[in-house]
Amino acid sequence: MQIDNIDVQAYPGSQKIYVNGTLYPDMRIGMRQINLTPTVKIGDDGHKITTPNAPVVVYDTSGPYTDPDYKIDINKGLPRMRDQWLNADSDLEQLPAITSEYGRMREADKSLDAIRFPNRHAPRRAREGKHITQMAKAQQGIITPEMEYVAIRENLNNAQLGIPTYITPEFVRSEIASGRAIIPANINHPEAEPMIIGRKFAVKLNTNIGNSALSSGIEEEINKAVWSCYWGGDTLMDLSTGDNIHETREWIIRNCPVPVGTVPVYQALEKVNGRVEDLTWEIYRDTLIEQAEQGVDYFTIHAGALKAHAEMVGERLTGIVSRGGSIMTRWAVLHNEENFLYTHFDEICQILEQYDVAVSLGDGLRPGSIHDANDRSQFLELDVLGELTQIAWRHNVQVLIEGPGHVPMHKIEENMDRQVRKCAEAPFYTLGPLVTDIAPGYDHITSAIGAAQIAWLGTAMICYVTPKEHLALPELEDVRVGVITYKIAAHAADIAKRLPGAEVRDNAMSKARFEFRWKDQFNLSLDPERAKSYYVSSQEFDEHYCTMCGPNFCAMRISQNLIKDCDKHVF
Amino acid sequence: MQIDNIDVQAYPGSQKIYVNGTLYPDMRIGMRQINLTPTVKIGDDGHKITTPNAPVVVYDTSGPYTDPDYKIDINKGLPRMRDQWLNADSDLEQLPAITSEYGRMREADKSLDAIRFPNRHAPRRAREGKHITQMAKAQQGIITPEMEYVAIRENLNNAQLGIPTYITPEFVRSEIASGRAIIPANINHPEAEPMIIGRKFAVKLNTNIGNSALSSGIEEEINKAVWSCYWGGDTLMDLSTGDNIHETREWIIRNCPVPVGTVPVYQALEKVNGRVEDLTWEIYRDTLIEQAEQGVDYFTIHAGALKAHAEMVGERLTGIVSRGGSIMTRWAVLHNEENFLYTHFDEICQILEQYDVAVSLGDGLRPGSIHDANDRSQFLELDVLGELTQIAWRHNVQVLIEGPGHVPMHKIEENMDRQVRKCAEAPFYTLGPLVTDIAPGYDHITSAIGAAQIAWLGTAMICYVTPKEHLALPELEDVRVGVITYKIAAHAADIAKRLPGAEVRDNAMSKARFEFRWKDQFNLSLDPERAKSYYVSSQEFDEHYCTMCGPNFCAMRISQNLIKDCDKHVF
């Protein structure tokens, strides 16, 4: 199988820049620099006065795709950037081949050659008895390359602006050591650029892609993955539940510059043809290894949805709306046994630790309607997630806690407060929440309202919702709208949290707006192309008013004249 | 001029119902009843068990347009529903003709016959010395028909649900009397259905339409107006600044079932060909009378932007972004005189009182960037709006206070708190606020995030922002998206404010979702058509899973099976 190389546009008016590390000087952290045109004024003597505007450097999730010097080759995969560090780590061993049974079976199946990613690598694993996760190293006092990488990435242009760079590599290390932040970075996903999730850092956003039994092929999913990174997705979950999950995932991971997450029980269920009762710990365990060796950076594991919770489901208006939660609860009831993810959680952590896969503790009982928000099953499960956090940390496994869902605004704060308290400040990762149930087709908006609020209160990562939520799988346009909507929510939260430097881009935009520098406005936009396409005008860009108000009613134009009048001491 | 009658679809699955008044038994309050299909379950014996679902009654802003018994005739205008009450009011006099000089000039101009609305009426006015505003009557202890109308309209199906109807006509009267709420209801706009704006009632949303010198004709604007009401706009501002403002407005008002607002200075400026320095109090005064006699229900008046504030504009990143504010401030500086709207405010109120036009005190110095939010010019102007509120109330003129604009989330609460304190609880009416500046093309979303929060905190009406904000004038699709987005924000705030009955529609939706009643879900949606169009499926509607997850991964399906298992005491 050969996949056509996708066409990724460079960001308009921008250039890819690289900043070098200090502790690790060979390190190159990619960023996007938006170059601005100068401010031009006409002086009293009629001469033009030109003042340059400093470029704005912004966080860049697009990886090598927007580097004009990089030749995209989807069939080869992205450069394995972290190999340089991982190869030097004597705590890691290079395995001769993948070890999962299912993975080996797929490898041996000739009929899959046609759809297989061509450029596969044998996996790495921790040597026996070695503790290799970012958390383990942080607790040993080691500043890893990944830690310096994210420290530089988070600071952006603060130094240039004279803002103190409080995000030092040592600060990152201490946040990772405490469990308050994570760097999801599987040793088998060296293509991904390190990033950090924690409430003292910029709010991150996750996007979901993946096929279902009813739709979508490999090429389409890769396109969605790259598209998501291009628009600003910080991490990517592959939620495929259809055919060829194993092969689809390989293509995605090898071409994905951001951490990739999955919900392993989806694939485990496919392996037993969708029959919940046939799920076993052995099949699930092998799935974890299969995916860890492919390079999945974090697993959503619904280990907190217990059998006792199943009895409470009848109290609810919308039962269980988490796929993983409903599967595991039903399994527990059918077998009259406790959820095997809970009973085997210690063993799960032992596997995850060997590859530095982070665990994202799934909220299988998240409310699926505002009616069910903050009810007893939701909060009982959160208590269990708190217990599981401590178990994971004992194994040096990095932890995220997943959160709702559907929550009316006045019940959002309690979610955040309880999560911090019950889960010892492990980073919170929420889906929205949607603040009303009545707007299918617009749930990116109902959920962005809740996401902005909960992120302001401390949620470290928000999971996007697209306009197709509740209705169908997202297509490319939905991914774009979902990502931009969540960039808005995340950025609004960064500003409200008063992260140093968060307003730089806003201020540059507003200055450009006041000075009618239209091209700069577009280039500074989260979606330059769309902004420009809406600016319908027969005029050239430098006209000093816009099509919204026309020349006589442009407040900014009148306001500029006003400032000139005041300068001339008219009164 | 004949305008093609617009094609308004009935709401799917809904019927128009009318509720009668008690104090005024001839009164018929239109509402929309969404009828639901029954819940069907298969019992243990294999028989179908069918349980009906109660219909959901929702607030309806579409007026007669969605009544199948009403024959739309744009050239005749809507039925003059309030005439029955107004004709009976001996405090009102019927004038022989319009009294404004400009209005008479336009009437006499034969060249305008071609574009004139055919079915015009002579205006009403208060008799000398009579106090006829809703506020005046409320303070006299009179419950007007409009007050009973809105009381019934706000309660919706609370009685049916056993929720106490705390919104009684007397409660409405007392809120109006205190100035905490307003019913914008010009005696010359009898076509509009009464509605109330106040923080103890459902949050309302305003939409803006109107042409500019660069675009849009009369027919297009009428279409936008009706479209806005269809999707849920509670009030409508005609912000036209282009040609034939007078005639365009007549068409809009005569066909608009919701209150109409304007910014009279826009038309006054057009009358002096856009030359700010040529504006005069006399021209402005005549414009007020002209528009009051056409039936405009509320005027935005930028009387709080003072000359002293102009000097502070240079401190800002984006100067003045309110068109009215920039016009009046510049006028003051050019003439070295105080803003004539401020100096003549008493006289303005005398005019408004005669027609019961509400004043919406414009925030001419609202921030146009998050950088400028909550700065001293913004708050100094708010202090002035507080003074002006007291003056308006002395004349029994109902008051709204306009608010920002661009405000980061952490600065929103201060806006609300100050407004309540400085303006003696007069209802607040905000534009967004936008919580970041960097998303042109998506500013309906950046602003809905802020609008939901400020509405929850007590803002009574939120002014929509469309995707075209900052870029171009909205078209029909933008109006629709803007209205739905703001319905989401307003409704989310109603829920968070715990308005009795606010969750009824959400709960009906969630129940329909859990029971796979797809048609009911669409019909209960804010935008049924769009929701349905996204539900791309080759199956019939009653399939028990959706295209998002496919059959094996439908959490709700698994969850329903789980409840059945529990019912059967499997464990």
Q: pLDDT tens for residues A282-303?
A: 999 999 999 999 999 999 999 9
Which two structure tokens, joined as six digits, stand for A178? 């405490």
Q: Provide the terminal-to-terminal Cα distance of chain B, rounded to the nearest Å.
A: 76
pLDDT along chain B (571 residues), means of 10: 74 94 94 96 87 96 95 95 96 97 96 93 97 98 98 80 81 98 98 98 95 70 93 95 90 97 96 96 98 98 94 90 93 96 98 98 96 96 98 98 98 98 98 97 98 98 96 90 98 96 95 95 96 71 58 73 63 39
Label residues A531-560 b or e (16+ Cβ within 10 Å = b): bbebbeeeeeeeeebbbbbbebbbbbbbbb
Of A56, A4, A490, A8, which Cα lies nearest the Cα of A228? A8
Cβ separation of B471 and A534 shorter than 8 Å?
yes
Q: How far apart are CA B198 and CA B203, in angstroms?
A: 8
d(CA B555, CA A443): 18
Whether residues B558 and A326 touch (CB distance < 8 A) is answered with yes
Q: What is the mean pLDDT of residues A32-61?
A: 93
Task: Answer whether A549 sits within 8 Å of B212, measured CB to CB.
Answer: yes
Point out the residue among A438, A507, A555 whose CB comes nearest to the CB of B317: A507
Nearest Cα of chain B lies from the Cα of A500 at a distance, in angstroms, of 14
Which residue in B57, B216, B369, B437 has the most chain A C-beta atoms within 10 A of its own C-beta, making it the best mutation to test that interface?
A: B437
CA-based nearest residue in chain A for residue B325: A555
Residue B177: how many CB atoms within 10 A of its CB? 18
**What is the structure's pLDDT at B569?**
47
Q: Do B317 and A562 touch (CB under 8 A)?
A: no
Q: Is the pLDDT of residue A423 over 80?
A: yes
- What gap in Å lies between CA A392 and CA A301, rounded to an integer? 12
The two structure tokens encoding residue B407: 């405000």
pLDDT tens track for A445-497: 999 999 999 999 999 999 999 999 999 888 899 999 999 999 999 999 999 99
**Reduced 3-state DSSP string for B49-76:** EEECCCCEEECCCCHHHHCCCCCCCCCC
Q: Do residues A181 and A138 lie in contact, with contact meaning Cβ atoms separated by under 8 Å?
A: no
B556, A494 contact by CB (below 8 A) = no
Distance, in Å, from the CA atom of A224 to the CA atom of A235, rounded to the nearest integer, reads: 13
- Collect all residues of chain B within an 8 Å Cβ-Cβ radius of residue A470: 513, 546, 548
Q: What percent of chain A has pLDDT over 90?
A: 82
The torsion angles phi and psi of B501, rounded to 5 degrees, stand at: 85, -5
Q: Where are the alpha helices (DSSP H) in B458-543?
A: 476-496, 504-514, 518-524, 528-534
Would you state the pLDDT for residue A557? 76
d(CA A224, CA A260): 13
* Rounded Cα–Cα distance for residues A68 and A9 (Å): 9
Q: Per-residue b/e over A439-474, b at no fewer than 16 CB within 10 Å?
A: bbbbbbbbbbbbbbbbbbbbbbbbbbbbbbbbbbbb
Query: Residue B271: closest CA among chain A residues belongs to which residue?
Result: A552
Query: Is B550's CB within 8 Å of A214's CB?
Result: yes
The predicted structure's pLDDT at residue A563? 72
Over range A270-286, report the average pLDDT: 96
Region for residue B162 given its phi and psi (left: phi exceeds 0; alpha: psi -120 to 50; beta: otherwise)? left
> What is the pLDDT, as a whole number, of residue A159?
62
ipTM of this complex prediction, to 2 decimal places? 0.95
Using the beta-carbon criterion (under 8 Å), do A511 and B322 form an inter-chain contact? no
At residue A242, the pLDDT reads: 78
Instruction: Verify whether the Cβ–Cβ distance A526 to B241 is below 8 Å.
Output: no
Contact A153, A185 (CB under 8 A): no
Chain B residues with beta carbon closer than 8 angstroms to that of A410: 456, 495-498
DSSP structure string for A482-534:
HHHHHHHHHHHHHHHTT-TTTTHHHHHHHHHHHTT-HHHHHHHSSSHHHHHHH
**How far apart are the C-alpha atoms of B420 and B417, rounded to whole Å?**
5
- Give dist(CA A116, CA A113) in Å, integer: 5
Which residues on chain A are in Cβ contact (under 8 Å) with B492?
408-409, 435-436, 446, 449
Residues of A in contact with B570 (CB under 8 A): 333-334, 336
**Cβ-nearest to B558 among A276, A410, A506:** A276
Q: Do B491 and A438 touch (CB under 8 A)?
A: yes
Element (H or E) spanning B275, and its range? none
Q: Is A415 helix (H, G, I), strand (E, B) or coil?
A: helix
Please check the confidence at residue A547 and state whether its pLDDT lies above 50.
yes
What local confidence, expressed as pLDDT, does residue A474 receive?
87
Contacts of A551 in chain B (CB under 8 A): 213, 274
For residue B336, the chain A residue with the least C-alpha distance is A571
Number of neighbours of residue B98 by Cβ within 10 angstroms: 21
Question: What pLDDT sits at residue A245?
Answer: 92
Decide: A208 and A237 in contact? Cβ < 8 Å. yes
Spatial separation of the C-alpha atoms in residues A361 and A375, rounded to whole Å: 19
| Mean pLDDT within A130-146 | 98
Q: Using the predicted structure, report yes or no on whether residue A18 has a pLDDT greater than 90.
A: yes
- Give the span between the Cα atoms of A502 and A492, in whole angstroms: 9
| Contact flag B330-A561 (C-beta cutoff 8 Å) | yes
Instruction: Write out chain A residues lying below 8 Å of B409, CB-based.
Output: 452-453, 456, 492-493, 495-496
The minimum CA-CA distance between B522 and chain A, rounded to whole Å, is 8
Contacts of residue B402, Cβ cutoff 8 Å, sequence gap at least 6 = B300, B360, B361, B362, B363, B366, B429, B430, B431
Residues 6+ apart with CB under 8 A from A174: A138
B336 contacts in chain A (CB < 8 Å)? 570-571
pLDDT digits (tens, 9 = 90+) for B234-286: 999 999 887 899 999 999 999 999 999 999 999 999 999 999 999 999 999 99
Contacts of A484 in chain B (CB under 8 A): 439, 442
Residue A167, C-beta contacts closer than 8 angstroms, at least 6 positions apart: A151, A154, A155, A200, A201
> Among all chains, which residue has been given the structure tokens 């005749």?
B76
Cβ atoms within 10 Å, residue B362: 28
Backbone angles phi, psi at A88, to 5 degrees: -85, -5
Residue range A230-251: average pLDDT?
Answer: 93
Give the C-alpha separation, A364 to A341, whole Å: 12
Is residue A255 within 8 Å of residue A225, measured between CB atoms? Answer: yes
Count of CB contacts below 8 A, A vs B? Answer: 416
Cβ of B472 within 8 Å of Cβ of A570? The answer is no
All residues of chain B having their beta carbon less than 8 Å from the beta carbon of residue A530 are: 441-442
Going by C-beta distance under 8 Å and a sequence separation of 6 or more, which residues neighbour residue B107?
B97, B98
Q: Does the distance separating the beta carbons of B470 and A514 come in below 8 Å?
A: no
Task: Identify the H or E element spanning A84.
Answer: helix A83-87
How far, in Å, CA of A318 to CA of B509, rounded? 10
Angle, alpha carbons A165-A168-A170 (nearest 5°): 155
In B92-144, where does DSSP find H-type helix?
A: 101-108, 134-139
What is the C-alpha to C-alpha distance for residues B188 and B488, in angstroms, rounded to an integer?
A: 32
A537–B472: do the CB atoms touch at under 8 Å?
A: yes
